[in-house]
Amino acid sequence: MPNFFDLNVHAYPETDIPVDDMFRIAKRYGYAGIAITNHDDTEKGKEVIPPLISNFIFRGVEIRTKSVSELKRKIKLHYGEVSLLAVHGGAEEINEAALKDSRVDLLAHPCGEKGEGELSHVLVRYAAENGVAIDFNLNAIIQSRRSDRARILWKMRQNLKLVRKYKAPAILTSNAQSKYDLRAPREMIALASLFGMKKEEAEHALSAIPEGVLEKKWKKETEVEII
């Protein structure tokens, strides 16, 4: 069985579930690693990035802003400090700025948490070029019902088509806010089949691609100036 990863999990201090609890449940569900990506603009502020507890947990941060200039400033601030730099997507200009920047590892829920944003073919092409992973947020499918869910599934289907066409890295995440929101890998694969993802594809999106994202496999090496 491959190693499964969930790269978008929120824990203490953003929510009241401690990292230990998440760790225990995720391990029980059969994950090889989770990345704690708390939003950087929460009130409890400074200690967003969790301390390193074990090799099972990767430290990350999810940048949430409304303006592009602030996004760039924050990317500069956090780059190199964390092993996973995610951007809270949704608005089109934020999506564009994040996908154009090769320092970003992951664009979380590019269609917003309720499916209000959109991705175009140009943006997905940027993602493929810069090695920014596009995230399919399965929590949106779990939490919504009826017309909301239909809209979200339709958008995910569209995104999947673009991702297949341009071969951009796509991953499945749970965006869990509590231990009840986590789902086991097999369940995630079953949920991904709702919007047309094949089983092998989904397995890949849960194991090999997240691993590659953590290892910065698709990043071009930065040129070193020789003086």
Partner 1 sequence: MKKKSAKCKSQNYTKFYVLLFALLLLPPSLRERKRYLVFEVISEREINKRELLEEIKNSIYSLYGDVGASESRIWLIGYEKKKDMGVGILRCAHDKVEEVRAALACIHTVNEARIGIRVIRISGTIKGATRLTATFCIISHTPFQHIHEKR
Nearer to partner 1, 46 or 145 (CB): 145
- Tell me if 194 contacts partner 1 by CB under 8 A: yes
Nearer to partner 1, 26 or 85 (CB): 26
Q: Around 16, how many Cα atoms within 13 Å sit in the side-chain half-sphere?
A: 0
Return the range that interacts with partner 1 (CB under 8 A); candidates 40-48, 76-84, 85-93, 141-149: 141-149
Nearer to partner 1, 59 or 179 (CB): 179
Q: The tokens of 170 are what?
A: 């796509």
Q: The tokens of 153 are what?
A: 């599934």
Contacting residue, 19, 133, 163, 182, with partner 1 by CB under 8 A: 182
Nearer to partner 1, 48 or 160 (CB): 160
Contacting residue, 3, 15, 102, 178, with partner 1 by CB under 8 A: 178
- Tell me if 184 contacts partner 1 by CB under 8 A: yes
Nearest to 168 by CA among 215, 199, 201: 201
Own/partner pairs for 113-116, CB < 8 Å, 24+ apart? 113/137, 113/139, 113/140, 113/175, 114/140, 114/144, 114/148, 114/152, 115/140, 115/144, 115/148, 115/151, 115/152, 115/155, 116/90
- Tell me if 28 contacts partner 1 by CB under 8 A: yes
- Smallest distance, partner 1 to C-beta of residue 200, A: 14
- Tell me if 197 contacts partner 1 by CB under 8 A: no
Contacting residue, 1, 43, 55, 145, with partner 1 by CB under 8 A: 145
Binding residues for partner 1 restricted to 62-121, rule: CB under 8 A? none
- Tell me if 46 contacts partner 1 by CB under 8 A: no
Q: Which residues here bind partner 1, judged by CB under 8 A?
A: 25, 28-29, 141-143, 145-146, 178-184, 186-188, 190-191, 193-194
